[in-house]
Structure 1
Amino acid sequence: MTDTPSAAPVPTDARDLDRARFVARAGWRGAERTVLAGDASFRRYDRLKLDRQTAVLMDAPPPHEDVRPFLKVAAHLKAMGYAAPTILAADAETGFVLQEDLGDDLVRVVLDRDPTLETAIYAAAVDLLADLHDRPGAAALDVPVYDAATLEREALLLIDWYWPLALGRAATAAERAGFLDRLRPLIDQVARPEVLVLRDYHAENLLWMPARRGLSRVGLIDFQDALIGHPGYDLVSLLEDARRDVAPDLAEAMVERYLRRRRDALDGETFRTALAILGVQRNMKIAGIFARLHLRDGKPRYLNYQPRVWGLIERDLVHPALHALADWLDETLPWDARGCTRPRDPDAAGTTTTEGDPA
């Protein structure tokens, strides 16, 4: 994930010059720089080290990226006492943000190192969600609503990008219409603007910081796409992880934990139906995004994750509310085109042996 630290490089192009100027203005001139990561977007991250201090530099070049939503959500989360990074300096015009260094202990990395921590870490992450969803004013942030049109547009990535990858052709008008006919009644059940949805709440976007106390043990990053939406969405993101297997019994225990903490606000049966719908919607979106990263962006490594994604889709399709969609898929998309070949199994998710960060 990291490269060898090096002295600040000599700027060679306009972006390098902008970066050097920003770092100097922020008081970090001459800092050593370590490349931390890139991701599926245009953003990249470096760790800066100056004397004994470290910070993380986000480089999010406009017009491809806009750091203002990240800054807004970070301030909101910090004000509520959560462990989002403190912003040390920012320039929205050039797309640079210098932020507190929360460390390298991503939940996935920690659990690869010590699987015995899994239940405790997931419980802490679930408790944070329950707390966030119960906080008055937590959803008052001025960000877009996760409405039906957005949920539908995301799910259509399956048709627009996975179809050509799996079948070697674009979806027909009839296939697209058939998909939407079965999808829209489901989307209508979960298009509810109730809570702040961080959007990518999973093991590679959360950090484990056990030296801190309570909910602050869970570090939050990569929340710039936050919306106001259904309380089940981030729980699904956590428990139906495209990059890491979460055993069904652990996932069920965490759903129960969440429901116990919000027992006065939620009906359990209705919420579980919503989780199945949101799980299918989210994982269909991911299957489409991974196909797009391969077909459009030349990043085939994301295809290694498709078996797990399809295993999660199949597990959610078992729910009675999704039978019409499941039947349509069975009629339209062959099993061998889904990244999985076994019959639908409610007790198993797809797995992959691929290691490391797909970004």
Structure 2
Amino acid sequence: MDDPAPAPVLLHLADDAATRRLGEDMVLMLRQGDVVALSGDLGAGKSTLARAMIRAHADDADLDVPSPTYTLVQTYDTAPPIAHFDLYRLSDAAELDELGFDEAAEAGIVLCEWPERAPAVVTAASLRVELSIDGDGRRAEIFGTPQALARLRRTLAIRAFLDAENLPVTHRRRFFGDASPRRYESVLRGGHPALLMDAPRQTQGLPVQDGLPYARIAHIAEDVSPFVAVAKALRAEGFAAPEIYAADLDQGFVLIEHLGGGTVLDAEGRPIPERYEAAALMLAELHAKRWDPALPVEGDTFHTVPDFDRRAMAIEVGLLLDWYFPRMRGAPATAEERAEYTSVWADLFDTLREAETSLVLRDLHSPNIVWRGERAGLDRIGLVDFQDAMIGPAAYDLASLAQDARVDVAPELEMRLVAAYAAARRAQGSFDAYAFERDYAIMAAQRASKILGIFVRLDERDGKPQYLRHIPRLKGYLARTLDHPALAALQSLYSRWGLLGDDAPKRR
């Protein structure tokens, strides 16, 4: 027996402004491949809704959006591209192919007025919006696939969350995406820029070890509480984390300060040494402080920052064997190879027992650093994306910065960053530079090994091949890190297996 169709979304739109706001809300949840069929009598608001969606998607309130009544289709070079069809004058449904409907739907987003003229459009629609006059306003009845309706309900829930703020929140726009399930929007809060984080609670997946899923072992944040707690703790100590304006912990919505648009990279995407060094000095300040792992979230709710323990480190480096190794070698690792790999890393984790520990932000690299050059001191380095913070070897964060996975950090700059950090730590008091250099090498190798596995997994499992381009850089970082005497056994193993050869893994 077929599952029942999901219930439609019913909305009353009081006026044109409400119709335009619905368009702004809807387009934020649309993805490449989505088709939105817009039905209703003349004057029901189809064009008003379509224009609002196109202008919001293009982030251009003054964009000329002519009706495609006579041309039948109008396309816009946005990301993803959007095509606006009006089939009112379509003489034959077969003409849909000549208009490039299938190609437009495959390449981007399609909005289609009068879809009834071509039944294939109704069949392909992710969402069907039926508009009708309702008193002085309009009624919108929205049908769709379960997945598209779920996305629609979430964007409407975000709107309700924003409407509850004490200042008006307007101008919702796409901001950026990353490799995680989180998404962001830029908004205006009281006329000033802010960001909306949309991070639904994550399902933990199937057990992989000791009855626990990977995310639980690796201490990956399940909801937004860790982000809120760490942000508040960092701000309390003078670090430039975003202010939390509002949060709905259950739904996973957080409205935060927009720290700015400056980066630590130049116009060609290369590291600006002085800015990277400022970030390294910020880390020296952060790691010199004592951090209570019990951090308040709101009210009586606390988040306990987890330990970056050896089990978490081990399951992370296991990603290299699970994903990168078979891509490079053409076959999965044998039981004997896994045992040898585990043994080598176990010895390295034993070495880390004496490592200095601190709050570790985990992903301090160029995409997550906001340069605020007009500020001074710690306030110049805006921090984002720290919800997976742990208490662990302090050297990890410096390795994340000085071996930036997304941009080339030359050996000379890496040495400069490590030296600046060490000098700052010595000036603060007791600091064992020799031990830190050893810990830095181990954590740099641990991080690079993990990310090699993650980038192949992003390609094979998640359909994101763009991350493969970073693999040669990671291999270069690993090659120079493995020269440290503490990593002699790991260097021998990687060399024997040919994991750092010249050829980058190709997409399958």
TM-score relative to the length of structure 2: 0.62
Q: Residue 86 of structure 1 contacts residue 99 of structure 1 at CA under 8 Å; is this kept in 2?
A: yes
For residues 153 and 266 of structure 1, the distance between their equivalents in structure 2, rounded to whole angstroms, comes to: 30
For residues 437 and 503 of structure 2, the distance between their equivalents in structure 1, rounded to whole angstroms, comes to: 25
Who is 2:285 aligned against?
A: 131
Q: Residue 73 of structure 1 contacts residue 224 of structure 1 at CA under 8 Å; is this kept in 2?
A: yes
**Residues 1:235 and 2:398 aligned together:** yes
**Residues 1:294 and 2:459 aligned together:** yes
Larger radius of gyration: 2
Who is 1:328 aligned against?
A: 493
**Residues 1:179 and 2:341 aligned together:** yes
Q: Residue 132 of structure 1 contacts residue 138 of structure 1 at CA under 8 Å; is this kept in 2?
A: no
Alignment of 1:25-104 (within 5 A): 25-27=164-166, 31-49=170-188, 52-64=191-203, 65-104=222-261
Q: Residue 459 of structure 2 contacts residue 468 of structure 2 at CA under 8 Å; is this kept in 1?
A: yes
**Per-residue deviation, residues 287-325 of structure 1 (Å, max 9, x unmatched):** 000011011111111111100011111111111211111
**Residues 1:158 and 2:323 aligned together:** no
Q: Residue 165 of structure 1 contacts residue 295 of structure 1 at CA under 8 Å; is this kept in 2?
A: no
The one-letter code sitting in structure 1 at the alignment partner of 2:385 is: D
Q: Which moved more, 1:23-32 or 1:121-130?
A: 23-32
**Residues 1:105 and 2:262 aligned together:** yes
- Local SS of the residue matching 2:256: strand
The one-letter code sitting in structure 2 at the alignment partner of 1:325 is: L
Who is 1:283 aligned against?
A: 448
- Local SS of the residue matching 1:97: strand
Of 407, 411, 424 in structure 2, the residue corresponding to residue 261 of structure 1 is 424
For residues 250 and 139 of structure 1, the distance between their equivalents in structure 2, rounded to whole angstroms, comes to: 33
Who is 1:207 aligned against?
A: 370
Deviation at 1:118, TM superposition (A): 2.0
Who is 1:5 aligned against?
A: 59
Q: Residue 479 of structure 2 contacts residue 500 of structure 2 at CA under 8 Å; is this kept in 1?
A: no
For residues 139 and 261 of structure 1, the distance between their equivalents in structure 2, rounded to whole angstroms, comes to: 24
The one-letter code sitting in structure 1 at the alignment partner of 2:361 is: L
- Local SS of the residue matching 1:133: helix
Deviation at 1:252, TM superposition (A): 0.8
For residues 225 and 60 of structure 2, the distance between their equivalents in structure 1, rounded to whole angstroms, comes to: 29
Deviation at 1:203, TM superposition (A): 1.1
**Residues 1:189 and 2:351 aligned together:** yes
The one-letter code sitting in structure 1 at the alignment partner of 2:407 is: R
Of 263, 268, 275 in structure 2, the residue corresponding to residue 121 of structure 1 is 275
Of 282, 305, 313 in structure 2, the residue corresponding to residue 143 of structure 1 is 305
Q: Residue 167 of structure 1 contacts residue 337 of structure 1 at CA under 8 Å; is this kept in 2?
A: no
Q: Which moved more, 1:186-195 or 1:68-77?
A: 186-195
Report sequence identity in percent.
42
For residues 124 and 335 of structure 1, the distance between their equivalents in structure 2, rounded to whole angstroms, comes to: 31
Who is 2:123 aligned against?
A: none
Deviation at 1:190, TM superposition (A): 2.3
For residues 308 and 410 of structure 2, the distance between their equivalents in structure 1, rounded to whole angstroms, comes to: 28
For residues 338 and 66 of structure 1, the distance between their equivalents in structure 2, rounded to whole angstroms, comes to: 38
The one-letter code sitting in structure 1 at the alignment partner of 2:350 is: D
For residues 412 and 318 of structure 2, the distance between their equivalents in structure 1, rounded to whole angstroms, comes to: 30
Deviation at 1:51, TM superposition (A): 5.9
Q: Residue 182 of structure 1 contacts residue 324 of structure 1 at CA under 8 Å; is this kept in 2?
A: yes
For residues 152 and 294 of structure 1, the distance between their equivalents in structure 2, rounded to whole angstroms, comes to: 22
Who is 2:153 aligned against?
A: 14
Distance 1:249 1:296, change over 3 A: same
**Residues 1:24 and 2:163 aligned together:** yes
Deviation at 1:256, TM superposition (A): 1.2
For residues 177 and 337 of structure 1, the distance between their equivalents in structure 2, rounded to whole angstroms, comes to: 26
RMSD (Å), alpha carbons = 2.3
Q: Residue 293 of structure 2 contacts residue 306 of structure 2 at CA under 8 Å; is this kept in 1?
A: no
Who is 1:343 aligned against?
A: none
Who is 2:482 aligned against?
A: 317
For residues 156 and 57 of structure 2, the distance between their equivalents in structure 1, rounded to whole angstroms, comes to: 22
Deviation at 1:136, TM superposition (A): 3.4
